[in-house]
């Protein structure tokens, strides 16, 4: 992502904020894992979206129209000794020269400087409730200003949810964001192809996970957007299965939901395939049904359609198919109305995708499903899950979980499947697994 893009985003936000206002965003904190060990650091998505700055202990401040500079970055001071251990720190000079800040101060001076900046502003754009430490500081600063009211100090009058504005911006992806997301999806698709090719009965689920991670890492994606799910047989019917510690059996399907993160942008792909390389008849029937539902849903991804149009299409296709296979009985419209499909398909058909795998942005506006617009990216991921021991279900269908998930960009006249490189028809899957 270029410096210009981060600058463009700050400008766009500042235009929406208007004069006499201030936006305050903290960086994510470093999280401790156990003694002397930290989780690998991941910048806060909102903070990074506006700054491109990936150090912890920082606060970004935007003050539209401020003469001495509109963008102020509070960050760590350089420290030769510390940098020898942990690597370079941008410091105040770097914040200006490398990250486009108009002005920068040591983070240790936040308490001294920020109240004076707040004093000049009517409106504060701030995501309350996300960072307890900064919430507390904010409340202290405002009450400090209130106490000075008699000497003519004017505390800010309005607090506005910054996240709401920012998340609407994040919902519409720019050209460079789309390029990154396409790249992330391509890397993940290569990972899915690799595990289809290398799949052998008797291998452990975590070995398949390791192959996926290896393929992503060697292609430059060193983080995953979420914990990979590799579920063989009945494990595939557990929606959030992440133990990945069972042996893959020749007669089973395996469900793999795995997607890398690239420069903080997520991909999210699920493929389901037979461990043996060949679908059995019941597996093929259920798989084709989920694929038909996914294709019907993807057809509904176009500008002007409501966000839930794909879900409705998936539900209709699945319900019709489940009746045809004898897994549901009755009138299709009645079954849909009474949500009988939920016995086998109990989640939504997708979600927004972006810097976060379950990305930000409202799904409804004034109580109505939002319309799809060019630049939005969402997943389409219908599934069927039939655990062992399901009551009233023939044995041949049991122990099967199937989900097919792609990453879809809404375009001017329809959609573009960013994850199209990952094989998904029965023919494609059987062909690649034969190699």
User: Which parts of this chain interact with ligand GLY (CB under 6 A)?
Assistant: 226, 257, 268, 351, 357, 381, 405
Closest CA to 344 of 291, 316, 386: 386
Report the 10 Å Cβ neighbour count for 324.
12
* CA-based radius of gyration for the chain: 25
Q: How far is the CB of 422 from ligand GLY (least distance, A)?
A: 14
Name beta bridge partners: 21.
123
Closest CA to 245 of 203, 199, 196: 203
Binding at 226: pick from Mn ion, ligand GLY, none (beta carbon under 5-8 Å per type): ligand GLY
3-state secondary structure of 343: helix
3-state secondary structure of 395: helix
Q: How far is the CB of 129 from ligand GLY (least distance, A)?
A: 24
Closest CA to 181 of 357, 44, 310: 357
Binding at 206: pick from ligand GLY, Mn ion, none (beta carbon under 5-8 Å per type): none
What is the Cα–Cα distance from 275 to 243, expressed in whole angstroms?
18
Closest CA to 295 of 281, 276, 316: 316
Q: How far is the CB of 163 from Mn ion (least distance, A)?
A: 21
Q: How far is the CB of 270 from ligand GLY (least distance, A)?
A: 6
Specify the residue, 92 or 379, whose C-beta has the smaller distance to Mn ion.
379
Specify the residue, 215 or 407, whose C-beta has the smaller distance to Mn ion.
407
Q: How far is the CB of 261 from ligand GLY (least distance, A)?
A: 12
> Given strand 269-274, what is the order of strands in its sheet?
229-232, 253-258, 269-274
Q: How far is the CB of 381 from Mn ion (least distance, A)?
A: 5
Residues belonging to the active site: 36, 240, 257, 268, 347, 351, 358, 381, 385, 403, 405
- Output the six-digit token pair for 173: 């992806």
Specify the residue, 162 or 422, whose C-beta has the smaller distance to ligand GLY.
422
What is the Cα–Cα distance from 376 to 371, expressed in whole angstroms?
10
Cβ(150)–Cβ(50) below 8 Å: no
Taken in order 213, 46, 91, 30, the sign of the CA dihedral is negative
Cβ(290)–Cβ(382) below 8 Å: yes
Point out which residues bind Mn ion (CB under 5 A): 257, 268, 379, 405
Specify the residue, 209 or 381, whose C-beta has the smaller distance to ligand GLY.
381
Binding at 209: pick from Mn ion, ligand GLY, none (beta carbon under 5-8 Å per type): none
Distances (CA, A) of 298 to 51, 163, 409, 417: 34, 29, 10, 9
- Output the six-digit token pair for 62: 């935007």
Closest CA to 232 of 258, 207, 255: 255
Closest CA to 353 of 302, 401, 420, 418: 418
- Output the six-digit token pair for 418: 């960013």
Q: How far is the CB of 185 from ligand GLY (least distance, A)?
A: 13
């Amino acid at each position: 992502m270029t410096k210009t893009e981060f600058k463009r985003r700050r400008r766009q936000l500042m235009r929406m904020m208007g004069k006499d206002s201030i936006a305050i965003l903290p960086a994510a904190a470093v999280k401790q894992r156990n003694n002397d060990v930290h989780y690998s650091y991941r910048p806060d998505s909102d903070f990074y979206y506006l700054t491109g700055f990936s150090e912890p202990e920082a606060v970004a401040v935007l003050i539209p129209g401020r003469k001495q500079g509109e963008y102020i970055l509070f960050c760590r001071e350089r420290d030769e000794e510390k940098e020898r251990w942990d690597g370079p720190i941008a410091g105040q000079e770097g914040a200006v020269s490398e990250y486009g800040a108009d002005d920068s101060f040591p983070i240790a001076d936040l308490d001294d400087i920020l109240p004076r900046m707040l004093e000049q502003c009517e409106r504060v754009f701030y995501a309350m409730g996300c960072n307890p430490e900064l919430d507390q500081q904010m409340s202290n600063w405002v009450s400090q200003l209130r106490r000075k009211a008699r000497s003519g100090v004017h505390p800010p009058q309005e607090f506005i949810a910054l996240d709401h504005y920012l998340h609407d911006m994040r919902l519409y992806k720019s050209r460079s964001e789309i390029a990154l997301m396409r790249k992330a999806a391509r890397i993940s698709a290569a990972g899915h192809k690799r595990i289809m090719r290398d799949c052998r009965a008797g291998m452990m689920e975590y070995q398949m996970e390791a192959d996926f991670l290896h393929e992503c890492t060697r292609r430059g994606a060193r983080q995953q957007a979420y914990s990979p799910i590799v579920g063989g047989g009945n494990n595939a019917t557990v929606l959030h299965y992440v133990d990945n510690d069972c042996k893959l059996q020749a007669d089973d399907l395996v469900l793999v939901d795995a997607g890398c993160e690239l420069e903080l942008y997520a991909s999210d792909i699920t493929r389901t395939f037979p461990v043996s390389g060949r679908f059995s008849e019941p597996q093929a029937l259920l798989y084709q049904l989920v694929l038909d539902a996914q294709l019907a849903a993807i057809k509904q991804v176009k500008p002007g359609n409501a966000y839930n149009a794909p879900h409705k299409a998936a539900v209709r296709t699945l319900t019709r198919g489940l009746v045809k296979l004898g897994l549901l009985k009755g009138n299709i419209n009645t079954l849909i109305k009474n949500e009988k499909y939920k016995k086998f398909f109990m989640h939504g058909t997708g979600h927004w995708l972006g810097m976060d795998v379950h990305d930000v942005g409202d799904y409804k506006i004034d109580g109505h499903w939002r319309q799809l617009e060019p630049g939005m990216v969402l997943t389409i991921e219908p599934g069927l899950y039939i655990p062992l021991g399901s009551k009233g279900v023939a044995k041949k269908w049991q122990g099967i979980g199937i989900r097919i998930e792609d990453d879809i960009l809404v375009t001017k006249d329809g959609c573009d499947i960013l994850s199209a490189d990952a094989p998904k028809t029965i023919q494609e899957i059987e062909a690649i697994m034969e190699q």
